[in-house]
Amino acid sequence: MPLLCRPAVAVPEHVITQEDTLALAARLHADHPQLRLVLRLIENTGVIKRHIIRPIDETLQDTGFAHRNRVFEIEAKKRVPPVVSEALAHAELKAEDIDTIVLVSCTGFMMPSLTSWMINELGFRTDTVQLPIAQLGCAAGTAAINRATDYCVAHPGANALIVSCEFCSLCYQPDDHDVSSLLSNGLFGDAVAAAVVRGDGEGTGVRLHAQTSHVMPGTSAWIAYDVKDTGFHFRLNKSVPGIMQQMIPQLNAFIEKNGLQLPGLDFYIVHTGGPRVLDAMRTHGGVPDAGLADSWYTLSHHGNVASAAVFDVLRRTAGSRPREGACGVIAGFGPGITMELALGTWHTSLAQQGALRKATEGEA
């Protein structure tokens, strides 16, 4: 069974706090008829701080779609390589060992894809298969894991590299006064993540046993981009906060089909879409508070970093060293409304098991 290795994640150096965000919203939108609602929604996100690729003064400037997309390309080519290098090291592989690259992003556009540039510049083989995915939004992180798994199952022994590049701050729209757009200004952050799926099942990480996808009928426009000359404008239907309650039965059915119960799992890698997502996992799914601690931390310290979120949560969970064979779920939610799920068990490589034993014996 393929194994999802410990991911690498990097957030940019520029930080904006919730206090900064609230002050900016109050100043820039002082005449907005629903300002009090907007401020309350931002406060309720639970986001303490976020990281963005440019200083806030530059981020607030309306430089046009073409310029911002150019910034996406420049910043991606600068920030992706070190994260990829770290992810390969975690997997104990080199670039030439990778057979396919699955790239996910919903915040910028390049053609040729960034995967082509990576193959040319970062030492990947010229026959490396490219699989860029651009329109799954926040669900794309788990979807990338599932598509990488598909490739490794179809090509036994193959290795897949996943790259998530999300610069949500480039989607800031200063003249968009829609409440959902203003809310997004206080929720989303920037991040780059990468992880390897090893087809031989070796390494340290999550051995992937099962996966599924589910689209909730009648909700295709509930989370969306309104694409204009100025770029991507975020839109969120007011019914979205309650949709997780309707998704829980499908989530439960998937877990139970594999002989398990959602409340009884050992770890939960849940996309940090917002407080309502995590609250629903607890109140309607029975997930214990402790099981969502890593997701809450990612949300509060990085915001919603779209497809990169599940990798940051997984990175934190990996740091706690789950026991061998611990069983958990990886869950992503996004436009569609789409749910992507993967189920797996924790495996620690023999080399790392030996190192941990020596460390334990030394402490004794």
Q: Which residues are catalytic?
A: 138
Which residue matches tokens 């757009």?
181
Cβ contacts of 232 within 8 Å, gap of 6 or more: 107, 171, 225, 226
How crowded is residue 57: how many other Cβ atoms within 10 Å of its Cβ? 7
State phi, psi for 207 to the nearest 5 degrees.
-80, 125
Cα 202 from Cα 197, distance rounded (Å): 9
CA distances from 53 to 13, 15, 40, 82, 153 (A): 7, 9, 26, 15, 36
Asked if 328 and 213 touch (Cβ cutoff 8 Å), the reply is: no
What's the per-residue H, E or C state across 26-92? HHHCCCCCCHHHHHHHHHCCCCCEEEECCCHHHHCCCCCHHHHHHHHHHHHHHHHHHHHHHHHHHCC
Here the tokens at position 225 are: 């981009």
Which residue matches tokens 């199952």?
153
Render the burial of 287-324: b for 16+ CB within 10 Å, e for the rest.
beeebbebbbebbbbbbbbbbbbbbbbbbbbbeeebee
Cα atoms in the 13 Å half-sphere on the side-chain side of 295: 27
